[in-house]
Amino acid sequence: MRYPTYRPRRMRKNEKLRNMVRETTLSPDCLVYPVFVKEMSEREVPIDAMPGINQFSVEGVLGEVEKVLEAGVPAILVFGIPEKKDETGSGAYDKNGIVQQAVRAIKARFGEDILVITDVCMCEYTNHGHCGVVKDGYVDNDETLKLLAKSALSHVVAGADMVAPSDMMDGRVRAIREMIDLHGDYNVPVMSYAAKYASCLYGPFREAAESAPQFGDRKSYQMDPPNSREALREIALDIEEGADIIIVKPALFYLDVLSQARERFNIPLAAYSVSGEYSMIRFAAAQGSLDLKRAVIESTTSIRRAGADIIITYFAKEIGTWAKEHTL
């Protein structure tokens, strides 16, 4: 059909028509809110690089979870920051580690009302800031797998509903799946950071999680930003190893990868809208360059439109509140 027979503007005439034919919608049901829990005496400490986001003590995070639930957001992703760090990141798999303490406290208070997902990695726990065991300046893949599996199991034993390995070691999904299955926890899903790029957008997170590498970078294990076909291979490998959900990270700079993954794989697909994405929007809005609400909704909708079933975002509470107010 061509003009004047077909006039696309007819279907944009008013809000009710636009809502009726809207192809992509946002709902709090698809959101996951990241939280940072730290071994400290203060209940909460602001993160300068991420205005509006805080580090919390175990006691303090309980209040934050209440706010998440009030906003209608069903899930959190827990990151831990230990008091002490060492070469092998032993705090990651300590049964009394910070994540393990937080998970027990959250589940004791909120039970099944909140879905608790835990990030499984070593970088917050090692004194060198890398995501595994370092030998001769290089992260030893297979030695790291053993520690990642131990960490994941310790989270499950503490009560985690789902584990999310973010380290980008080869074979980590299989190692974790086998470990938790051996323990009898067959029904605990693994949400794998399958396509995690060595991005410039992680800077604010590294301040929040106190996890910056003390030497070198993470390019030998995180993916090279120019590559998309490699991402599809990584995703396929993780699915073969038993991943239940896969993540593309970051989100906004990698919507093409997200779209390709949606076309190729029939499995739940998540996207992590990372700290740099959050801070860019937050700082631009603070300067008056953007309308915060419009920017958040438009950017998050673009991630959904590209194919994400699940969106991990630091704006989850705001989006949930706007949904309750019927202003999305």
Assess whether 196 carries a catalytic annotation.
yes
Query: 20 in a domain, yes or no?
Result: no
d(CA 328, CA 256): 25
**Six-digit token pair at 141?**
């893949």
Catalytic residue among 38, 85, 150, 196: 196
Predicted confidence at residue 260, as pLDDT, reads: 98
Query: 303 in a domain, yes or no?
Result: yes
Query: 2 in a domain, yes or no?
Result: no
Predicted confidence at residue 186, as pLDDT, reads: 95
d(CA 34, CA 37): 10
Query: 18 in a domain, yes or no?
Result: no
Catalytic residue among 135, 249, 293, 324: 249
* Side-chain half-sphere CA neighbours of 251 within 13 A: 28
**DSSP one-letter string for 251-277:** SGGGHHHHHHHHHH--S-EEEEE-HHH
Cross-strand bridge partners of residue 296: none
Residues 187, 274, 320, CA angle at the centre, nearest 5°? 70
d(CA 273, CA 251): 5
Query: 246 in a domain, yes or no?
Result: yes
User: Taking Cα atoms as reference points, which of 274, 141, 270 lies closest to residue 201?
Assistant: 274
What's the pTM? 0.96
Question: In tens digits, what is the pLDDT along the chain, a chain of 328 residues?
Answer: 899 999 999 999 999 999 999 999 999 999 999 999 999 999 999 999 999 999 999 999 999 999 999 999 999 999 999 999 999 999 999 999 999 999 999 999 999 999 999 999 999 999 999 999 999 999 999 999 999 999 999 999 999 999 999 999 999 999 999 999 999 999 999 999 999 999 999 999 999 989 999 998 999 999 999 999 999 999 999 999 999 999 999 999 999 999 999 999 999 999 999 999 999 999 999 999 999 999 999 999 999 999 999 999 999 999 999 999 988 8
Query: 14 in a domain, yes or no?
Result: no
Amino acid at 101: Q
Is residue 149 exposed (0-12), middle (13-18) or buried (19+ Cβ within 10 Å)? buried
Predicted confidence at residue 1, as pLDDT, reads: 82
Q: What's the gap between Cα 106 and its chain centre?
A: 18
Cross-strand bridge partners of residue 38: 81
Query: 13 in a domain, yes or no?
Result: no
**Six-digit token pair at 87?**
């070469």
Range(s) of the domain holding residue 171: 26-324
Helices 255-264 + 229-241 axis angle, to 10: 50
Number of structural domains the chain divides into: 1
Cross-strand bridge partners of residue 248: 195, 271
CATH for 161: 3.20.20.70
Query: 224 in a domain, yes or no?
Result: yes
